[in-house]
Structure 1
């Protein structure tokens, strides 16, 4: 094997969790080449990922990279991704700024520093970070985005929600423009890292209490935070939350399409969005083509590819939070630590509200199950909305959230 060029380098495979660091301690170049070749043969054929399918042959033609010796263990991700994926922190910043240009009300933005040298990127409609705003006495609303998302996806909601009172939106640890540290591989420890980061953020920002709203993974983490820090949450709003039901003990194997089972087997060593990064220069086009629905969701405020660019740059960089999410899941997308088994422990004085989309693949069974033991749980289904309910029907979503908060504050006053 002479001067082998591979579609996947040792660094890229290590970035996606296929090759563990210990496995990379290979003495000779020939052994490194053989290692990569064996892995490539294992994933030949169709290479699937969450946003669609890309032929491996096409990737292999475009993704050539010389095999490099294993050396610097702290910069291998940052040295590989920018050379193949057309992304950078500045491009993510520019895409976010274009998204937020649609917001009319004044806000501030800053990196809020937490422990271990990490920071959480935050925008705030509040007197805490924006002295020019008039004083507001309402309990702040904190927004947590979902898996693969970022704070700018709330662009169609921020004006309306901040008309009520202070609003904070942040990029979760490991996502967006926040720090992307290495997470513990244990699902419970990874969850704790997310929760600890949020609590340290709250302390630094100076919030005593908050209305906590989370979508998808953000909903799961909002519930986990409420369990850990009940005195800091006045109302828990869960929007299409991920990770609530447990995987059935005896799932009907034959009810899962063969192609999904095959995809699961092929993708099991990889991070959920690995294909986006492996596609390299084709990544932006893939997002625009395969997730063209996002352009439609934001068509009332954006008429170009801004949202597609934003989603691409969010997920084309170091897969930190993404890796943590993968370690928190089991096939096919179930949580290793189902929240529905724990959420009944949320203190009774904390109201809980669920918001679902009528067209979403996530049904309201989890909310209904909790309501059986907590009759005061609120469940709202917004017609015509899918999983991204806040973007599918932003006006109805904004009105629903404002009504829920108004009722909660009236009861608590």
Structure 2
């Protein structure tokens, strides 16, 4: 009975309009936009006031902690065409074999009674999963002739979670090896699906990997939409800057006016030893859901209560699952999320068309994007890639302002059509 009532509530959200639009409401006083990864005072970690989920609810969620696929299903069931098709679209959840006993989890949406002429791939960021885009799938799958593919990165979400081990010693080779863990799986997925070229929409760390994919496997991306991309700006913590200071200890930072985020010593210690932030969730037993509620309660405070609840369960499920791809973070970024090998230093190697998207209140430094766009234009003698700003949005642009974000991506899809 509870499942039936919950499903009815989820469906009720979408009975009036085929494209997801939540009725605007004033921002919740508990809402907090994402901020750069940095340590928080230990007093807050042990304060129950910051984790609103009750102990009884936490225990109930902990008992079903391994059913991540069910949690994903519940989020995707908010869509009008899943699990049953509507008048124009059908959707399915797939496990695509990418070799070595691994698979990539995919949510595929297909237009009924129309020929597929274009494919659009959507990729999440660090610690997330494909269902984070549930407020975008309806709109982005509504354009005739397009098939939508949302992916979980290898080692994330409901994709396979193989052991993550890096063997290279050279700092640049370590980064290449780390990137290859993810982008080789994307390439294997593309081949398995028989897709020659596609439009790529990727967020945060996913955008970083999408950029790396475009460099290693050129020619397969029609247009690359980088949404609040991670690892772009240069800093004094990059490999090249550190190497320069080793050669000349008196050398000053080449980054004018640089102000690095200060992180506690304990946070820096754990980061540099590749300790995953999700280990706290896994190692605290039934308290794990309660700890996760501290983030989800504030992050999803502006969503309808039913959606916020199922997203919390989904987030806990993917945070608690076996550690794998998450261990890449420390190889690619220094504490405070500063790239060890910034995309701004190698953006000239991106040869496909790009569009860079930031939120109006984004913590990602768009100056890095501007520098990268300048280098792309200079290297290829063409027009500078556009940078778009989505209003009333922070780092998770697609969740904060789905209507404006969806229209921006639909414009990109129209541009792709016009060029064919």
Find 1:120's aligned residue among 95, 104, 109: 104
Find 1:218's aligned residue among 192, 202, 206: 206
**1:334, 1:264 → 2: CA distance?**
13
> SS at 1:201's partner residue?
helix
Deviation at 1:230, TM superposition (A): 1.6
**1:254, 1:378 → 2: CA distance?**
25
**1:255, 1:369 → 2: CA distance?**
18
| TM-score for the superposition, normalised by structure 2 | 0.72
Deviation at 1:278, TM superposition (A): 3.1
User: Which residue of the partner structure matches residue 34 of structure 2?
Assistant: none
Find 1:298's aligned residue among 282, 299, 303: 303
| 2:120 and 2:201 in contact (8 A); partners too | yes
User: Which residue of the partner structure matches residue 246 of structure 1?
Assistant: 234
1:195–1:356 Cα change, 3 Å: same
Q: Deviations over 1:11-31 (max 9, x none)?
A: xxxxxxxxxxxxxxxxxxxxx
**1:278, 1:252 → 2: CA distance?**
42
1:393–1:257 Cα change, 3 Å: closer
User: Which residue of the partner structure matches residue 28 of structure 1?
Assistant: none
**2:259, 2:217 → 1: CA distance?**
40
RMSD between superposed Cα atoms in Å: 2.8
Give runs of aligned pairs for residues 117-156 of structure 1, distance below 5 A: 117-126=101-110, 133-156=112-135
**2:45, 2:409 → 1: CA distance?**
47
> SS at 2:228's partner residue?
strand
Deviation at 1:274, TM superposition (A): 2.5
The count of corresponding residues between Structure 1 and Structure 2 is 332
User: Which residue of the partner structure matches residue 167 of structure 1?
Assistant: 148
Find 2:329's aligned residue among 325, 343, 346: 325
| 1:87 and 1:316 in contact (8 A); partners too | no
Structure 2, unmatched stretches of 5+, are 1-36, 48-58, 82-89, 167-173, 242-252, 378-382
1:90–1:356 Cα change, 3 Å: same
| TM-score for the superposition, normalised by structure 1 | 0.73
Q: Deviations over 1:56-114 (max 9, x none)?
A: 9969xxxxxxxxxxxxxxxxxxxxxxx9x937675211211111011113201110011
User: Which residue of the partner structure matches residue 269 of structure 2?
Assistant: 265
* 2:82 is the alignment partner of 1:98: no
User: Which residue of the partner structure matches residue 230 of structure 1?
Assistant: 218
**1:51, 1:166 → 2: CA distance?**
41
User: Which residue of the partner structure matches residue 348 of structure 2?
Assistant: 344
| 1:297 and 1:391 in contact (8 A); partners too | no
> SS at 1:401's partner residue?
helix
Deviation at 1:139, TM superposition (A): 1.6
* 2:400 is the alignment partner of 1:392: yes
* 2:184 is the alignment partner of 1:180: no
* 2:413 is the alignment partner of 1:405: yes
| 1:52 and 1:290 in contact (8 A); partners too | no
Find 2:314's aligned residue among 310, 313, 316: 310
| 1:141 and 1:213 in contact (8 A); partners too | yes
Structure scoring higher RCO (CA < 8 A, sep ≥ 6) equals 2
**1:388, 1:284 → 2: CA distance?**
22
| 1:370 and 1:377 in contact (8 A); partners too | no
Q: Deviations over 1:291-326 (max 9, x none)?
A: 323323532x83552111111111112110001222
